[in-house]
Amino acid sequence: METLFFYFLRRGLWETKEEYKGSKAIGPEDWERLFAMAHEQAVTGWLIDGVGRTAMRPDRSVWEQWLFHLLYLEQMNRLAERCGQQWLERLEKAGMPAFVFKGTSVALWYQQPLHRSPGDVDVVLKDGWSRLKPMLAEAGIAFRDENGDIVVQENERVPVELHARWEYVYNPVVNARLQRLCEEADETDRELYLVCLMLHIRRHFLTYGIGLKQVCDVAVMLRHAELDGKKVAILLKRLHVERFGRILFGFIENYIGGTEAYPLKPVKRGKGAELFRNVVLRDGYRLKMEREEKARNMRFRIGRIVGNAWFWVRRGWTLLGIMPGEVMSFLVYKAGKRIFRHG
C-alpha cells in the first residue's frame, strides 16, 4: 500500500507519466486506506491529482467526493491567500512591513498551488515587532502569545501566526548566526528560505513530529526554485544542519523524487534514514494530536510536567544520532524554561 501511495503522490507532484509496476488490484478498502494515509500526512490534493493522471479510479461516488474535496482545498487556499494579503496591508499601514512565509508562499512553487493542504498563514514582520501587541489591542483584535509568536484568528477557518523571525534553533550560538543571516537577507533569498524550511522540519522532529507536506515543500523547491546548490550547502554547514539535511534529501530521493540536484549527497540508507522515515510516516501529525489530547485529560499539573519531561528525554535520546547538538540544546532549553517559570 505504501508503494502505491507514493506512486500516486509522485504522479500528482511532478505530473509525470511514471507507470505503476505493481500487480495488485485496488479495491474499495484500498482506496479508503490511501485517502486516509494522504489525509494523515496533509497531502490529499496531490494524491487526487496523481490518481487523476492514471487510468485507475475508485468508485464513481468516491471519486466525486474526492473532487469535491479538491474544490474545498482550492476555496480554503484562496481564503488563506486573501487573509494573508489583508494582514500585509494592515501591517504596512501601521508601519510594520511584513511578508508571508511558508504556507501559501511556498505553495507558489507547486504545479497546482491551490492543491496544497492549507494550514496557518505565517506572517513575518520585518520591523515594528515591539509595536504589534499595542496595535492589536487598540484595534480590538483578540490574540494570544504562543512561545513568543502572536496568534490571531479573526476568521474561524484561517488562523494567522505573526512572527518576529523567519525561524529559530535551540542552540544559542547557531541561533544568533541564523538571526544575523535573516536580518541581512530578504524574502527573495530562496536559498535561505529553503534552509529555514529544513530547520522548521528539524524543530518539529524534536517536538511532535512532522508530516509529508513539509517534506514535499523542500522537494518542490529543490526542483523548481532554481537554487544555488553551493550556497545552500554552505548555509547548511554554517547552521550545523548538514547531517539532518543529507538524511532529508535521502528520504526525498527514496520516496518522492523530482530532482537529482541535491546541495549535499543524500543519505539513503542506515539508522538515520530509517529513523527519519519512522518519524515522518509513523508519527506524522498524529503524535502532536495525541500529546495534546493526553495533556487535556491529565487532571494534575505535576503529572503533566513529569510526563512531558519523560517524553522530551526519550524523544531527544532517540533523535540524538541525527541532530546531536540541537537535541542537547533543546533539552537544556526545556529544563530552563520549567525552572524559570516555576522558580
pLDDT (0 to 100) of residue 256: 96
- What's the chain's average pLDDT? 87
pLDDT (0 to 100) of residue 343: 45
* Share of residues in the chain with pLDDT > 90 (%): 64
Q: What is the pLDDT of residues 45-86, one digit of tens each?
A: 999 999 999 989 999 999 999 999 999 999 999 999 999 999
Q: Is the pLDDT of residue 5 over 60?
A: yes
CA atoms within 13 A on the CB side of 89: 6
User: Is the distance from CB of 167 to CB of 200 less than 8 angstroms?
Assistant: yes
pLDDT (0 to 100) of residue 311: 67
Q: What are the grid coordinates assigned to 83, written together?
A: 487573509
Q: Compare 331 and 30 and report the one with higher pLDDT.
A: 30
- Beta partners for residue 255, in sequence order: none
User: Is the distance from CB of 215 to CB of 332 less than 8 angstroms?
Assistant: no
Q: What is the pLDDT of residues 288-307, one digit of tens each?
A: 555 555 555 555 555 555 55
pLDDT (0 to 100) of residue 337: 65
Spatial CB neighbours of 196, under 8 Å, sequence gap ≥ 6: 101, 166, 167, 182
Cα separation, 290 vs 287, whole angstroms: 5
Q: Tell which residue, 192, 167, 256, 247, has the closest CA to residue 219.
A: 256
Per-residue pLDDT band at 342 (split at 50, 70, 90): very low
Cα separation, 130 vs 96, whole angstroms: 10
User: Is the distance from CB of 202 to CB of 244 less than 8 angstroms?
Assistant: yes
Q: Is the pLDDT of residue 324 over 50?
A: yes
